[in-house]
Structure 1
């Protein structure tokens, strides 16, 4: 075959040029170069601007013949080729030649597209924790098909069959990529902002590593789209006292999230609690009492004498019209607290 190629190249300059282009990209692929390096090499070989764009991403890589990124307005492609992965188009490559197209441009673009597909399969579009929101949205969307979800996960760097945990995160101070790196050190993790909430996809989640000031809900389902819904629900139950909530720990309490907001608002216990909540001290006392389950343990949480807590709880019970001295009243107060927080939560639908 090699001898035949040599004879053909001697007879036809086009064949000779095409073989040289094929060998050029074979070398790049053996060296496992990334997308920016492919764009630079292609621009230098073509002696014009070369571009690469992956579908679902906002960023295009455009490189001038000298190997530097170009900010000049695109002149329009002189030639394009689709990037295919698993027989599906995932992107486009192109040349911006100012004059007429070179006869070998088609061969160059074809080989560049093959090299881009190989690089995407190897590296994904980024090696950082922050990911393209479009790919993350494909993973967690309830409307997406399983093939698109699997492909997006692969492009994000998650191997086929690898479990993916989903977190819904609010982090007012710490950047989302740092949160992702903390909860899943040394393993695949990607993060993006979608719809006002942080989304973290992680191979594993160490909830104890979530930093102070961050609230998070952790989904339990194996399917990422279902896990995202669960994570959002769990986040709605997060409080300053319990900032990280796992959906699996909610149990029957998660059913409250399915109750229409109007029904929650009209419930007498919730309406009474909304009035009590106007006093932050009373709200904190009731919360500590519901969490602790006894006056003495609540006093320890609040760093107060138990007699002081007892007086507050008695007054709060009267305001709520609930006897807080027994388990039935404690359950009612706890449910009212959870329902009131669902009404007050920004993540609620």
Structure 2
């Protein structure tokens, strides 16, 4: 190993140096090193601090050339490379080299990233966020027997008996990125399923911390199948104003999801909401008023004078056939708006 650990500065040509770097990491892989040993050997080779960060676990290893843990705060990063496993970026490797980069830094980081991906895959379950949709479907299906569900969870890398929460997601963002953002610590798995994405995790961040461009329904920790059913129901109630919603927050509103679509569509109040839905301004005004229950608070949300909102609500009330400023009228509007959203899924 010492013979391979020549300093990059001592290598007499780029080609010869690249060959030696490749041979160095081939030797490390044959010796089945772990992440700390990989970082330690790389720091000795590079003659500067080497860092390895794994997104899914939040683990960061920084090693100085003498083989010890690098001091904090870290130096500025001189060069970086992504760690990719199964076409998913699972982490980053970097060098903290003072001064100008070495001509072989790019080669070293490329081989270090490949070696790290191999090590991460070798030790323990696969650490990628994206999972086999068939396994995830086994976990969340109500028709799966418990033995098959337990086996699927084990193959996904979740410890036996760990409470899990399901999240139903609609987004144009990469599902693996969303999974990591929703559950930055602990195991998390994501897969596309039917008309939405499913994310399985022990814990998720608060709805207000969800990334923009994500609609999400969050199930309770009541078994994966039950949690997934709840998550899909909560997703149907989300809106632009409330893009992420816990099922528990729905309360009795969740009962609306069990009403046949034909009955909802034929309801006069829901039909009236559908009639005004083509006007975004009207829909936004009604949504703000139903969300706050107060003319003045709705005006604050809409950044309008309360008299302007009052005029809009009076016009909307006539169009809907509902006295919006009365308690009964407000309740009718809230239920009609929630039921109308269910029609759009």
> Residues 32 and 226 (structure 1 numbering): CA distance in 2 closer, same or farther, change over 3 Å?
farther
SS at match of 1:123: coil
User: Which structure 2 residue ranges, 5 or more long, are not aligned?
Assistant: 1-30, 35-119
* Deviation readout 1:277-336 (Å, 9 max, x if unpaired): 121111110000111111111100000110010000001001111111111100000000
Partner of 1:242: 242
Cα distance in 2 for residues equivalent to 1:337 and 1:32: 59
Greater Rg over alpha carbons, structure: 1
CA distance in 2, matches of 1:229, 1:122: 33
1:192 partnered with 2:166: no
Which residue is 1:153 aligned to? 153
Residue 342 of structure 1 corresponds to which residue in structure 2?
Answer: 342
Distance 1:150 1:141, change over 3 A: same
1:102 alignment counterpart: none
Aligned length: 230
Using the TM superposition, name which of 205-214 and 186-195 deviates more: 205-214
The answer to whether the Cα contact below 8 Å between 2:141 and 2:225 also exists between their aligned partners in 1 is yes
Normalised to the residue count of structure 1, the TM-score between the two structures is: 0.63
Distance of 1:333 and 1:236 partners within structure 2: 18
Q: 1:1-349 maps to which residues of 2 (within 5 A)?
A: 123-124=124-125, 126-172=126-172, 174-207=173-206, 208-345=208-345
- Report the Cα distance in structure 2 between the residues aligned to 1:224 and 1:121, rounded to whole angstroms: 27
Q: Cα gap change, 1:121/1:227 in structure 2, threshold over 3 Å: closer, same or farther?
A: farther
Contact 1:189 1:201 (C-alpha < 8 Å) held by counterparts: yes
**Cα distance in 2, alignment partners of residues 278 and 162 from structure 1:** 46
State whether residues 164 and 221 of structure 2, in contact with CA within 8 Å, keep that contact through their aligned partners in structure 1.
no
Q: Distance in 2 between matches of 1:306 and 1:239?
A: 23
Superposition misfits of 4+ residues, deviation over 4 angstroms: 30-33, 119-122
Q: Is the 8 A contact 1:121 1:154 kept in 2?
A: no
TM-score, length of structure 2 as denominator length = 0.64
Inter-partner Cα distance in structure 1 for 2:246 and 2:285: 24
> Distance in 1 between the 2:122 and 2:237 partners?
39
Distance, in Å, in 2 between the alignment partners of 1:175 and 1:120 is 21
Q: Which runs of 5+ in 1 are unaligned?
A: 1-29, 34-118
Cα shift at 1:196:
2.7
